[in-house]
Amino acid sequence: MISQASFRTHPSPLESGLHLDGKRMTPQRKKVLSLFEEIGSGIHLSAEEVHSKLTSTGDKVSLATIYRTLRLLVKMTFLNELDLSEGGNRFELLSHDHPDHHHLICIRCGRTEEFENNEVINAGEVAAKNFGFKLLESSLNVRALCPICINK
Protein backbone atom coordinates (compact mmCIF):
# COMPACT_ATOMS: atom_id res chain seq x y z
CA MET A 1 0.00 0.00 0.00
CA ILE A 2 1.18 3.47 -0.74
CA SER A 3 0.96 5.61 2.31
CA GLN A 4 0.17 9.28 1.91
CA ALA A 5 2.53 10.01 4.76
CA SER A 6 5.43 7.94 3.52
CA PHE A 7 7.00 11.02 2.04
CA ARG A 8 6.00 14.37 3.26
CA THR A 9 4.36 16.36 0.50
CA HIS A 10 4.26 20.09 0.84
CA PRO A 11 0.78 20.98 2.00
CA SER A 12 -0.87 23.20 -0.55
CA PRO A 13 -1.74 26.78 0.35
CA LEU A 14 -5.34 25.68 0.34
CA GLU A 15 -4.67 22.90 2.78
CA SER A 16 -2.64 24.92 5.21
CA GLY A 17 -5.09 27.79 5.04
CA LEU A 18 -7.89 25.43 5.91
CA HIS A 19 -6.03 23.82 8.78
CA LEU A 20 -5.21 27.14 10.30
CA ASP A 21 -8.87 27.54 10.88
CA GLY A 22 -9.84 24.08 12.05
CA LYS A 23 -11.21 23.35 8.61
CA ARG A 24 -10.50 20.31 6.54
CA MET A 25 -9.14 19.48 3.15
CA THR A 26 -11.58 17.49 1.10
CA PRO A 27 -11.47 16.12 -2.43
CA GLN A 28 -14.34 18.41 -3.36
CA ARG A 29 -12.50 21.51 -2.27
CA LYS A 30 -9.37 20.42 -4.03
CA LYS A 31 -11.27 19.73 -7.24
CA VAL A 32 -12.97 23.06 -7.31
CA LEU A 33 -9.78 24.99 -6.81
CA SER A 34 -7.88 22.82 -9.29
CA LEU A 35 -10.48 23.48 -11.90
CA PHE A 36 -9.92 27.20 -11.60
CA GLU A 37 -6.17 26.71 -11.63
CA GLU A 38 -6.37 24.65 -14.77
CA ILE A 39 -8.41 27.12 -16.71
CA GLY A 40 -6.26 29.97 -15.42
CA SER A 41 -7.08 33.36 -14.05
CA GLY A 42 -9.25 35.74 -16.00
CA ILE A 43 -11.92 33.24 -16.87
CA HIS A 44 -15.12 33.30 -14.91
CA LEU A 45 -17.38 30.42 -14.20
CA SER A 46 -20.78 30.35 -12.59
CA ALA A 47 -21.52 27.89 -9.83
CA GLU A 48 -23.58 25.90 -12.29
CA GLU A 49 -20.70 25.78 -14.74
CA VAL A 50 -18.26 24.65 -12.11
CA HIS A 51 -20.69 21.94 -11.18
CA SER A 52 -21.21 20.65 -14.68
CA LYS A 53 -17.51 20.79 -15.53
CA LEU A 54 -16.70 18.66 -12.52
CA THR A 55 -19.50 16.18 -12.90
CA SER A 56 -18.86 15.82 -16.63
CA THR A 57 -15.46 14.32 -15.86
CA GLY A 58 -17.03 11.66 -13.73
CA ASP A 59 -16.59 13.36 -10.39
CA LYS A 60 -19.52 13.49 -8.08
CA VAL A 61 -19.99 16.79 -6.29
CA SER A 62 -23.26 18.22 -5.27
CA LEU A 63 -24.29 21.67 -6.31
CA ALA A 64 -24.77 22.68 -2.71
CA THR A 65 -21.17 21.82 -2.02
CA ILE A 66 -20.07 23.86 -4.99
CA TYR A 67 -21.82 26.87 -3.58
CA ARG A 68 -20.37 26.28 -0.15
CA THR A 69 -16.91 25.79 -1.54
CA LEU A 70 -17.02 28.82 -3.77
CA ARG A 71 -18.03 30.96 -0.84
CA LEU A 72 -15.22 29.51 1.20
CA LEU A 73 -12.61 30.01 -1.50
CA VAL A 74 -13.70 33.59 -1.91
CA LYS A 75 -13.38 34.19 1.80
CA MET A 76 -9.94 32.61 1.71
CA THR A 77 -9.06 34.88 -1.22
CA PHE A 78 -8.31 32.09 -3.64
CA LEU A 79 -11.18 33.17 -5.81
CA ASN A 80 -12.71 36.45 -6.73
CA GLU A 81 -16.44 36.88 -6.97
CA LEU A 82 -17.86 38.98 -9.77
CA ASP A 83 -21.41 40.06 -9.92
CA LEU A 84 -22.14 40.91 -13.46
CA SER A 85 -25.82 40.55 -12.74
CA GLU A 86 -28.02 38.82 -15.29
CA GLY A 87 -28.24 35.28 -14.06
CA GLY A 88 -25.93 34.49 -11.25
CA ASN A 89 -22.57 35.45 -9.95
CA ARG A 90 -19.33 34.26 -11.40
CA PHE A 91 -16.03 33.33 -9.92
CA GLU A 92 -12.49 33.50 -11.12
CA LEU A 93 -9.07 32.63 -9.84
CA LEU A 94 -7.61 35.53 -8.00
CA SER A 95 -4.04 36.02 -9.09
CA HIS A 96 -2.32 38.10 -6.53
CA ASP A 97 0.15 39.64 -8.90
CA HIS A 98 -2.60 41.26 -10.89
CA PRO A 99 -4.51 43.82 -8.92
CA ASP A 100 -8.25 44.09 -9.36
CA HIS A 101 -9.35 44.02 -12.89
CA HIS A 102 -12.36 45.41 -14.55
CA HIS A 103 -14.96 44.06 -16.87
CA LEU A 104 -16.54 45.10 -20.08
CA ILE A 105 -19.74 43.14 -20.51
CA CYS A 106 -22.00 42.80 -23.49
CA ILE A 107 -25.43 42.86 -21.96
CA ARG A 108 -26.90 41.08 -24.94
CA CYS A 109 -24.69 38.02 -25.44
CA GLY A 110 -22.74 38.02 -22.21
CA ARG A 111 -19.34 38.28 -23.80
CA THR A 112 -16.98 39.80 -21.31
CA GLU A 113 -13.59 41.33 -21.71
CA GLU A 114 -11.23 42.38 -19.02
CA PHE A 115 -9.02 45.35 -18.73
CA GLU A 116 -6.96 46.99 -16.10
CA ASN A 117 -6.60 50.56 -15.17
CA ASN A 118 -4.69 51.78 -12.19
CA GLU A 119 -6.54 55.03 -12.02
CA VAL A 120 -9.75 53.19 -11.40
CA ILE A 121 -8.21 51.19 -8.62
CA ASN A 122 -6.80 54.35 -7.22
CA ALA A 123 -10.15 56.12 -7.36
CA GLY A 124 -11.67 53.37 -5.25
CA GLU A 125 -8.92 53.64 -2.70
CA VAL A 126 -9.26 57.38 -2.44
CA ALA A 127 -13.00 57.21 -2.03
CA ALA A 128 -12.74 54.58 0.67
CA LYS A 129 -10.19 56.66 2.53
CA ASN A 130 -12.27 59.82 2.27
CA PHE A 131 -15.24 58.18 3.90
CA GLY A 132 -13.21 56.25 6.43
CA PHE A 133 -14.09 52.91 4.89
CA LYS A 134 -11.79 49.94 4.72
CA LEU A 135 -11.55 48.86 1.12
CA LEU A 136 -12.08 45.21 0.33
CA GLU A 137 -12.49 45.08 -3.39
CA SER A 138 -13.45 47.35 -6.18
CA SER A 139 -14.97 46.40 -9.45
CA LEU A 140 -15.72 48.46 -12.48
CA ASN A 141 -18.36 46.96 -14.68
CA VAL A 142 -18.91 48.54 -18.02
CA ARG A 143 -22.17 47.52 -19.57
CA ALA A 144 -22.04 47.72 -23.29
CA LEU A 145 -22.90 46.11 -26.59
CA CYS A 146 -20.24 44.09 -28.34
CA PRO A 147 -19.59 44.64 -32.05
CA ILE A 148 -21.72 41.67 -33.02
CA CYS A 149 -24.68 42.62 -30.91
CA ILE A 150 -24.75 46.28 -31.85
CA ASN A 151 -26.67 45.49 -35.01
CA LYS A 152 -29.29 43.24 -33.57
Partner DNA sequence: AGCGTATTGAGAACTGCTTGCAACTTGTAA
Partner DNA sequence: TTACAAGTTGCAAGCAGTTCTCAATACGCT
Residues binding its own copies (CB under 8 A): 83, 85, 89, 102, 104, 106-107, 113, 115, 117, 119-120, 123-124, 126-128, 130-147, 150
Q: Least separation, in Å, of the C-beta of 32 and DNA?
A: 8
Label residues 86-107 b or e (16+ Cβ within 10 Å = b).
eeeebbbbbeeeeebbbbebbe
Q: Which one among 8, 10, 24, 152 touches DNA, defined by CB under 7 A?
A: 24
- Interface positions, 90-149, toward DNA (CB under 7 A): none
Give the residue with the Cβ less far from DNA, 68 or 102.
68
Report if residue 53 touches DNA, rule: CB under 7 A: no
Report if residue 22 touches DNA, rule: CB under 7 A: yes
Please, which residues bridge with residue 112 across strands? 105
Residue 145, CB half-sphere, CA atoms under 13 Å: how many?
A: 6
Q: Which one among 17, 35, 39, 46 touches DNA, defined by CB under 7 A?
A: 46
C-beta separation of 101 from 80 below 8 A: no
CA distance 126 to 2: 55
Query: Which has the closest alpha carbon to 27: 46, 12, 7?
Result: 12
Binding site for DNA (CB under 7 A): 15, 18-19, 22-29, 46-48, 60-65, 67-69, 71, 87-89
